[in-house]
Amino acid sequence: MRKHSAVVLTAIAAFAVGLFAAMTTLSLYSQAQPGSGFAAVPGEKGGWDITGPYDVARDWPQPLSQLPGHEQWTWGAGEACFAETADRVFFIQMGELPKLTRPPVAAIPQIGPSLSFPVGEVPFLHASQGQYASPPGGGAPGADPDDPAQAYKGRPSIDSRWEHLVLVFNRNGDIVEQWTQWDKMLRRPHAIYISPYDPQKYVWIVDDHNHAIFKFTHDGKQLVQTIGTVGQKGADGSHFNRPTFMTFLPDGTMFVADGYNGNRVVKFDKNGKYVTAWGERGTPPNETRPNYFNVVHGITSDPMTRRVYVSDRGNRRMQVFDENGKFVDQWPFNNPSSVNFLYSNGDGAIWAFEDPTAKVVKYDREGHLLYAWGSLGDYPGAFLNMHGASVDPDGNLYVCEVGNGRVQKFTPRRGARPELMVGKPPVPRS
């Protein structure tokens, strides 16, 4: 009897403890602020946060077809963008492509049963896939731009046009500058920048097929410097092997991701003089050794710590170095990620623009995941193959896509949490 009573008392005590814990949790929950989770706009009801803390600016930019003689043409693969201001947004595209509309669904039994094209709810074309999309071909890692077998196979002036590679838009999406004078010189422009610390505001264009970086006057009328040897690949202080992106420190120091084939990071001083380089070819896709790379693609630097962050894309990881190339840290991105672009402004966040999952991802300096948003598609605000991004001084975000062949503008949502937005460019100290 006593044993039975003890069991009953134990059960009652356990029930009381559980009830107290449940009531405490319910009380804490009831005291929480509505919408106090991870929503970009606190307290918002419904929605999906498809574009995170931003609204997409529809009908920006204006269609390429508005240009005289371009009525049947649209953007090629969107390689890069840079927003000096809201009224001067640079865009690099891989030529122009014919303007197409989504075709009706049709069966393709010659490929396999139960197959049809296009597949619903996903993009029906890719502006950079294969040798018949955007020129010039030979864009994959390891490709040789001088090998005719890897060159573009489309028909010039019919399947594509190699023109209007560098354009500038204003806040309304109007084309306000056309750098067509450089179309013949550029072979595959891959990135464009103005250093936020440069009072003269020179414009830098990284051209991976030319194995070179070109420095232009602010208005684009003059080429004032070339780093690398045009048309010659190599791995020394005066040669690149398909460089991809670059980044700047406040004193003018530059770091170049070299690149698709070079598997190294190259450091230059403010005058473009070679300082040092580091990196060796690794064994993809699971290389873990520091300083070994397979496709050195995205690169950024933290102006506060002077650390350099490198997307080792072929090994799906971030590698972190001090400014002299000493390894500091690494963290995985994991399969199926492929981080094409990195951004940092010194506020402590490192932003990664990811390809297969179409995510814009925020990390802290140590690699802790803080936030992510983005979705795959071709509708306004979705992404296919993000390749570059920029933020203007007003906080507007610009993202270009080689897959969808476009650049998009995102404006801050009213009431959105500022810590979830990609930071504004750094302001030089006086």
Give yes or no for residue 27 having a pLDDT over 60: no
C-alpha distance across the termini of the chain, in Å: 86
Q: Mean per-residue pLDDT for 280-302?
A: 97
**Distance (Å, rounded) from C-alpha 410 to C-alpha 83?**
12
Q: Mean per-residue pLDDT for 88-114?
A: 96
Q: What is the pLDDT of residue 131?
A: 87
- 42, burial (CB in 10 Å: exposed 0-12, middle 13-18, buried 19+): middle
CA dist 263 → 277, 295, 315, 331 (Å)? 10, 6, 12, 18
Give yes or no for residue 7 having a pLDDT over 70: no
Q: Mean per-residue pLDDT for 29-49?
A: 73
Give percent above pLDDT 70 in the chain.
Answer: 91
Tokens 């574009």 -> residue: 51
pLDDT band at 47 (very low <50, low <70, confident <90, very high): confident
Give yes or no for residue 89 having a pLDDT over 60: yes
- 29, burial (CB in 10 Å: exposed 0-12, middle 13-18, buried 19+): exposed
Q: What is the pLDDT of residue 44?
A: 87
Q: What is the pLDDT of residue 130?
A: 85
Q: What is the pLDDT of residue 427?
A: 84
Give yes or no for residue 141 having a pLDDT over 70: yes
Closest to 165 measured CA to CA, from 93, 111, 227: 93
Give percent above pLDDT 90 in the chain.
Answer: 86
Q: What is the pLDDT of residue 29?
A: 40
The pTM is what?
0.91
Q: How does the average pLDDT of the chain come out, rounded?
A: 92
Range in 130-139, 250-259, 386-395 the model is least confident about? 130-139
Q: Mean per-residue pLDDT for 354-371?
A: 96
Q: Mean per-residue pLDDT for 406-412?
A: 99
Tell me how crowded residue 401 is: count the other CB atoms within 10 A of its CB: 30
Q: Mean per-residue pLDDT for 38-45?
A: 88
Tokens of 378: 């071709």
Q: Mean per-residue pLDDT for 193-205?
A: 98
**Distance (Å, rounded) from C-alpha 66 to C-alpha 75?**
12
Summarize pLDDT for 150-169 with one digit per residue, the tens: 999 999 999 999 999 999 99
Closest to 340 measured CA to CA, from 29, 5, 80, 106: 80
Q: What is the pLDDT of residue 15?
A: 46
Summarize pLDDT for 260-280 with one digit per residue, the tens: 999 999 999 999 999 999 999
Closest to 391 measured CA to CA, from 344, 333, 357, 359: 344
Sheet with 243-248, strands from edge to edge, namely: 243-248, 254-258, 264-268, 274-278
Beta-carbon contacts of 276 under 8 Å, excluding residues fewer than 6 positions away, are 266, 267, 324, 325
Quickly count helices (H) and strands (E) in the chain.
1, 30
Range in 138-142, 203-207, 238-242 the model is least confident about? 138-142
Q: What is the pLDDT of residue 429?
A: 67
Closest to 170 measured CA to CA, from 58, 62, 65, 54: 62
**Strand, coil or helix: what is 257?**
strand
DSSP string, 134-163: STTB--STT--TT-GGGB--S-BTTTBB--
**Distance (Å, rounded) from C-alpha 137 to C-alpha 149?**
10
Please state the φ and ψ torsions of residue 42, each to the nearest 5 degrees.
-55, 135
Residue 89: strand pairing partners: 83, 169
Tokens of 218: 């602010």
Q: What is the pLDDT of residue 34?
A: 55
Domain ranges across the chain: 54-99+119-420
Give yes or no for residue 178 having a pLDDT over 50: yes
Q: Select 54-99+119-420's CATH number: 2.120.10.30, 2.40.50.100, 3.40.50.300, 3.30.930.10.
A: 2.120.10.30
pLDDT band at 198 (very low <50, low <70, confident <90, very high): very high
**Distance (Å, rounded) from C-alpha 59 to C-alpha 125?**
20
**Distance (Å, rounded) from C-alpha 351 to C-alpha 410?**
16
Element (H, E) at 25: helix 2-31
Task: Produce one character per residue of 331-354: b if its CB has 16 or more CB atoms within 10 Å, e if not.
Answer: eebeeebbbbbbbbbbeebbbbbb
Q: Mean per-residue pLDDT for 274-291?
A: 97
How far is C-alpha 80 from the chain's CA centre?
8
Please state the φ and ψ torsions of residue 16, each to the nearest 5 degrees.
-65, -45
Q: What is the pLDDT of residue 3?
A: 45
In the Cβ-directed half-sphere of 87, how many Cα atoms lie within 13 Å?
0
